[in-house]
Amino acid sequence: MPPSSIQANQSSTRSQPRQIAIYGKGGIGKSTTTSNLSAALSDLGYKVMQFGCDPKADSTNTLRDGSYIPTVLDLLREKKKVDAHEAIFQGYNGIYCVEAGGPAPGVGCAGRGIITAVQLLKQQNIFEELELDYVIYDVLGDVVCGGFAVPIREGIAQHVFTVTSADFMAIYAANNLFKGIQRYSNAGGALLGGVIANSMSHPYQREIVDDFVAHTHTQVMQYVPRSITVTQSELSGKTTIEASPQSEQAEIYRELARRVDAHTESATPEPLEPGELKDWASKWADTLVAIESGEVRDEKAGI
């Protein structure tokens, strides 16, 4: 049975929603974190839309029992005129789920797809009609392609949060994102709210992320442990907030949501230059060798 999209209604307008973009390296946990954040914000009583900006169109499925929805670009390919309501599907706690979709693999620019999808909703005044409090964009990529800077550059999002682990490639991607934010910050682009440290399972990982944010003048919004509860929830097609609301992991996502909700002032981060990043990484390589050999104690308590 095809998923049922929402019906148009005539509700009144109110002020614009807060628009947040979540970035991070491929596979780092953006969709998992975003979906749990959306679920936790909706549990706080907010009206939330999660907007998947990944051509894979798999951002919102754990909000909808593991089921996938047609994308805006799919619908636009099928017919010239699309009623935006056909692309909006409700999930957990009434969260509005949208997937921008993308061009056929190997063809075109996914960034243009994001602009097209956002424009469709804006032209039809969907954000006002649904009286949304939050729109959360789950954005693919390391900003290696200009298209993925779209939510930052086009003034779509106001606050950016980046998901990173302590792995160097994830930090490298976060640093590239910071460069993108810095580039567009004077032209009214989105600013950085902070870093979500995901998959924390060893104390030194937390120290690495802490050190990176100190060097780039930003902050950690939450430390999210690597947890089997997340795996179990995903396997049952749900967020941890829905599948395991009493778990410690769910409380960590709820605390993240409270912090994001309380967050007001984003800023321009100060990315490390390539040489600085290399030196920073080498210092950590030496520290980890020293920790492993017992020369240096790993100071922080368990996470």
Ligand X SMILES: Nc1ncnc2c1ncn2[C@@H]1O[C@H](COP(=O)(O)OP(=O)(O)OP(=O)(O)O)[C@@H](O)[C@H]1O
Nearest C-alpha neighbor of 36 from the set 274, 263, 230, 279:
230
C-beta closer to ligand X: residue 37 or 118:
37
Least separation in angstroms between CB 245 and ligand X: 16
The residue within the footprint of ligand X, chosen from 29, 193, 194, 271 (CB under 6 A), is 29
CA distance 155 to 160: 11
When asked if residue 165 is in the footprint of Mg ion (CB under 5 A), the reply is no
Least separation in angstroms between CB 214 and ligand X: 23
| Residues 110 to 169 in contact with ligand X, rule: CB under 6 A | 140
The residue within the footprint of ligand X, chosen from 149, 224, 241, 260 (CB under 6 A), is 224
Of 1-9, 13-21, 129-137, 228-236, the segment contacting ligand X by CB under 6 A is 228-236
Pairing state between β 159-164 and 18-24: parallel
H helix or E strand, kind and range, residue 232: helix 228-235
Instruction: Assess contact for 52 and 99: CB atoms under 8 A.
Output: yes
H helix or E strand, kind and range, residue 233: helix 228-235
Least separation in angstroms between CB 138 and Mg ion: 6
**Number of Cβ within a 10 Å radius of residue 146:** 11
CA distance 301 to 303: 7
Least separation in angstroms between CB 144 and ligand X: 13
Amino acid, res. 5: S
C-beta closer to ligand X: residue 130 or 224:
224
The three state secondary structure string of 19-59 is EEEEEECCCCCHHHHHHHHHHHHHHCCCCEEEEECCCCCCC
C-beta closer to ligand X: residue 57 or 84:
57
Least separation in angstroms between CB 203 and ligand X: 16
Catalytic residue from among 30, 43, 133, 138: 30
Quick check: is 30 catalytic? yes
When asked if residue 24 is in the footprint of ligand X (CB under 6 A), the reply is yes
CA distance 50 to 60: 7
Quick check: is 278 catalytic? no
> 94 — alpha (psi -120 to 50), left (phi > 0) or beta?
left
State the binding string over 31-50 for Mg ion (x if CB under 5 A, else -): x-------------------
Q: Which positions touch ligand X (CB under 6 A)?
A: 24, 26-32, 54, 140, 198-199, 224, 226-227, 230-231, 234
Catalytic residues: 25, 30, 56, 142
